[in-house]
Amino acid sequence: MQKYIARRVLLFIPTLLLASVLIFGILRVLPGDVALAILGQEAVEGGGGYTETQIRELREELGLNDPLPIQYAKWAWSMVNGEFGGESIRSTEPLSSIIARRLPVTLQLTVYTVLLSIIVAVPLGVFSALYQDKWPDYVLRMGAILGQSMPNFWIALLLLLFMVTQIGWSPPLGYSNIWVDPFHHLQIMIWPALILAWRFSAYMTRITRSGMLEVLAQDYVRTAKAKGLGQQLVVRRHSLPNVLIPVITLGGLEVSTLLGGTVILENLFGIPGLGQAIVEAAVGRDFPVVQSLAMMLVFFMLGLNLVVDIAYSYVDPRVRYS
Amino acid sequence: MAIEAAAGGQSAFDQLVQEARPKRTVAQNLKRFARRKPAGAISAVVLILLALIALFAPVIATHDPIRDQVAAERLEAPSASHIMGTDNLGRDVFSRVIYGARISLQVGFLAIGLGTVVGMVIGVLSGYLGGKLDLVVQRVVDVLMGFPFIILAMLLVVALGASLLNVGLALSVAIVPRVVRLSRSSTLSVKEEVYVLAAVTIGVSLLRMVLRHILPNTLGPVFVLATGALGGVIVAEAGLAFLGLGIPPPSPSWGGMLNIGARGYMEAAPWMVIFPGIALSAVVFTFALLGDALRDVLDPRLRRGDS
C-alpha cells in the first residue's frame, strides 16, 4: 500500500516537470516573439507603434535575452518558491497575489457544482436503476443528452436572457466574498454552478445507475429481500453504500474536466476566479500570467487525479496490484 | 514479390471466407445502417445537408455576412427581408449563421483530420515498436491528457496567433493524445495476433506491416472517436471565439457572434444570441448522435450476437 502511494507520488514529480516544459515550450519555442506580440497588442489598443528600444527593454525586463534553459529554470524555480513567475506585465500585480485572490473563488465554484451534482445525481441514478428501461429512465437519459449537446455558454446566455426578459431580474454584476455577503455571493455563483452541474450530474447519474444495477443483481440483495426487508431499507442500507464508493472516486476523476467549463462561465458571469484571469491575460497577451496560471490549473488537475487514484486504491485493492 | 503473389491470388481459404461472409455493396451497407440505427442515419443526412449549406453558402445567404452593413437597419427584429434579424452593425444574422457553418466545419475537419492522422501514426508506431519510444510517448500523452482541453488550445492560440488555420492547428494538438492512446491500445491487441506473427515470419517490412496489417485494424475505433470528437472540437472553437480568443471578429464564427450578442445586445436583440446558438447546438447534437450510432456499429466489443 505505502509502496503504491510512494510510487504514484514519485511519478507525480516528473509528470509536473514535463507539463511545465510543455507549457514553457508552447509559449517560447513556437514561432513568434513574445515581446513583439505584447507590444503589437499594446500598439493595436493604444494606437501608434513601438520602437526598437522598447522591444529591447521589454526583452530585457522579461528575461528573454537569457538562453532558454536558464529562462525555464528561473520560471520553474519561481513556481516552487512561491513567486509564481513574477508579476503581470499589464497590472504589475504579483502572480502570488493574483493566485491567492482568485484560486479560492474557482475552488468554491467547483465545490458548489460537485455538491449540487451529488445531491441531484445520486437519487436520480437510484431512481433510474429501479425503473430501468421504463419511461422515467428514458426521460432522464434524454435530459442528459440535451445537457451534453448544448454548449454551456449558450445555456448560460439563454438563462440570462430568460431572467432579464421574463422575470426582470439578473444576477448582480459585482462579485462578493462568501464571508462578507453570503447572500449576494450565492446570487452570482448559483447560476454557473447549476449549469455546470447539469452536465456533471448527467455523468454522475449514469455511474450511479450502472453501479446500482450491478449491486441490485447481487446475492446479498436477494437475501435481504428474501428475509422481508422493504425496498427502502434494501436500497439505503444494502445497495447504496456499495455504489457510493465508485461514484465518488469516478466522480472525482471527472471533476478535472469541469475546469474547462469553469473557465468560460467565470468570464460570462464576471466571477473573479483563475479562469477569468487566464482568459483576460490571454486576450491581453500577458505572457507571464498565462504561463503561470496554466501551470497552476494543470497542477490542480493532475494533483486531483493523483489524490483520487490513491483514494481509490484504498477502497479497491485490485488497483494496487495491477 | 512472393507476398504480392500471395496477396493477389485467390486461395481456397479466401473463397471460403467469402462464402461464409456475404460481401455487401456500399449501398447495401448503408441500407443496413439506416435500418438498424435510424437516429444515426438521420443525423448523417442532416450533416450532409449541413456540408451542402456550408458549400453553397454564397447561394443560400441573402446578404454578404461581412460587407453588407446598413447603419439604418441595426438591431432589427426578424422580418421578411432579414429572417433572423440584424446585428449591431446592421448585418444579416441569417447570412452570418449560414457562413458560420463554413468556419465551424472547416475548423472541425482540419483539427480532426490532422489530429487523427498524426495521432494514429504516433500511436501505432509507439504501440508496435514499444521500448523507450513507447515509454516517452506515453508520458507525454499522460501529461497532455492532464491539460484541460480549452487551456491547451488557448495556450497554442496565444503562441501562434488567432486565425482559422491556427485555431484548427491548436485544436488538433488537443485531439492528438486521445487518438494516440486509442490507436496504441488497439495496436497492442492486434500485435499479438497470429497473422502479425505470420507477416513477421515472411519478412514483411515495417512500413508494409504497419500500413497493411496493423493500421486497418485500428481504424474503426479511431473513426468513432473522431466523429464523436468533431462536435467537441466545434464547441471548443466556438468557446474560444466566445472568449475573444478565436478567429478574429469580422469572420462570422458562431462563437464570435454569441460573444458580440452577449455584450450588451441581449435585451435589445435576443436573436443575435438565439440563432447562432441553435445552429451550434444542433450541429453538436447531430455529431453526438452519429458518433453513438457509429460506435454501436463499428465497435466489436459492443456488437453482441448480430453479424
**pLDDT by residue (tens digit) across A142-164?**
777 777 778 888 888 888 888 88
Tell me the residues of chain B between 20 and 79 that have a Cβ less than 8 Å away from chain A.
none
User: How many angstroms separate the Cα of A19 from the Cα of each of A37, A298, B42, B176, B182?
Assistant: 24, 8, 42, 16, 21
DSSP state of B78: P
Distance of CA B234 to CAs A151, A295, B302, Å?
10, 25, 27
B245 close to A (CB below 8 A): yes
- Locus of grid cell 489524490: A307
- Lowest-confidence region among A16-25, B67-76, B195-204: B67-76
In the predicted structure, residue B3 carries a pLDDT above the cut 60: no
Distance between CA atoms of B118 and B242, rounded to whole angstroms?
Answer: 28
Residue B232: the pLDDT is 87
pLDDT in tens, B218-265: 888 888 888 888 888 999 999 999 998 888 878 888 988 888 887 777
Residue B240, pLDDT score: 92
Can you tell me the mean pLDDT for A77-88? 83
The model's pLDDT over B145-189, given as tens digits with 9 standing for 90+, comes to 888 888 888 888 888 888 889 899 999 998 999 999 999 988 888
Nearest CA in chain A to B157: A282
CA distance A26 to A63: 17
Could B159 and A298 be called an inter-chain contact, meaning their C-beta atoms sit closer than 8 Å? no
pLDDT in tens, A18-74: 999 999 988 876 666 667 777 776 776 666 667 778 777 877 777 777 788 888 888
User: Is B64 strand, coil or helix?
Assistant: coil
- Give the Cα separation of A174 and B46 in Å (integer): 43
Contact A301 B270 (CB under 8 A): no
Mean pLDDT of chain B: 82
- Interchain proximity A151–B238, CB inside 8 Å: yes
Look-up of cell digits 492560440: B157
The answer to whether B261 and A157 are in contact (CB under 8 A) is yes
Q: Which amino acid is at A301?
A: M
- The angle, 0 to 180 degrees and rounded to 10, between the axes of the packed helices A152-162 and A240-269 is 70
- Comparing B118 with B55, which gets the higher pLDDT? B118
Residue-level pLDDT at B5: 47
Best B97, B155, B235, B272 residue to mutate vs chain A (most A CBs within 10 Å): B155
Nearest to A25 by CA among B140, B245, B224: B140
CB-CB contact of A10 with A312 (8 Å): no
CB contact at 8 A, A249 and A315? yes
Q: How far is B7 from chain A (nearest CA, A)?
A: 41
Of A14, A37, A260, the CB nearest to B150: A260
Of chain B, the percentage scoring pLDDT greater than 90 comes to 15
Query: Between B66 and B43, whose confidence is greater?
Result: B43
| pLDDT band of B17, cuts 50, 70, 90 | low
C-beta of residue B197 within 8 angstroms of C-beta of residue B263: no
SS (H, E, C) A257-272: HHHHHHHHHHHHHCCC
Mutate to test the interface with B, among A153, A160, A164, A298 (most CBs of B within 10 A): A153
Q: What are B237's three cell numbers?
A: 472553437
Q: Is B203 left (phi over 0), alpha (psi -120 to 50) or beta?
A: left
B165 part of contact set with chain A, CB < 8 Å: no
Boundaries of every domain in chain A: 2-81, 102-320
pLDDT in the model for residue A60: 78
- Whether ipTM tops 0.85, in short, is no
Q: Cβ atoms within 10 A of the Cβ of B78, count?
A: 15
The correct answer on CATH 1.10.3720.10 for the domain covering A102-320 is yes
Q: Quick check: B261 contacting A, CB < 8 Å?
A: yes
Position B268 scores a pLDDT of 78
Distance from CA of B26 to the nearest CA of A (A): 30
- Residue percentage of chain B with pLDDT more than 70: 89
Write down the pLDDT at residue B4.
46
For A183-194, the pLDDT digits (tens) are 888 888 889 999
pLDDT of residue A302: 86
Q: Which of A298, A137, A304, A130 is nearest to A230 (CA)?
A: A130
d(CA A223, CA A237): 13
* Structural domains in chain B, sorted by start: 103-302 (1.10.3720.10)
The predicted model gives A249-271 an average pLDDT of 83
pLDDT at residue B107 tops 90:
yes
Maximal C-alpha separation, chain A: 87
The predicted structure's pLDDT at residue A30: 65
Banded model confidence at residue A121, pLDDT cuts 50, 70, 90: confident
Q: Which of B158, B240, B267, B281 to mutate to test the interface with A (most CBs of A within 10 A)?
A: B158
- Residues of chain A in contact with residue B160, where contact means CB-CB under 8 angstroms, are 30-32
Q: How far apart are CA A239 and CA A229, in angstroms?
A: 12
Is residue B303's pLDDT more than 60? no
B41 in Cβ contact with B291 (< 8 Å): no
Whether residues B288 and A161 touch (CB distance < 8 A) is answered with no
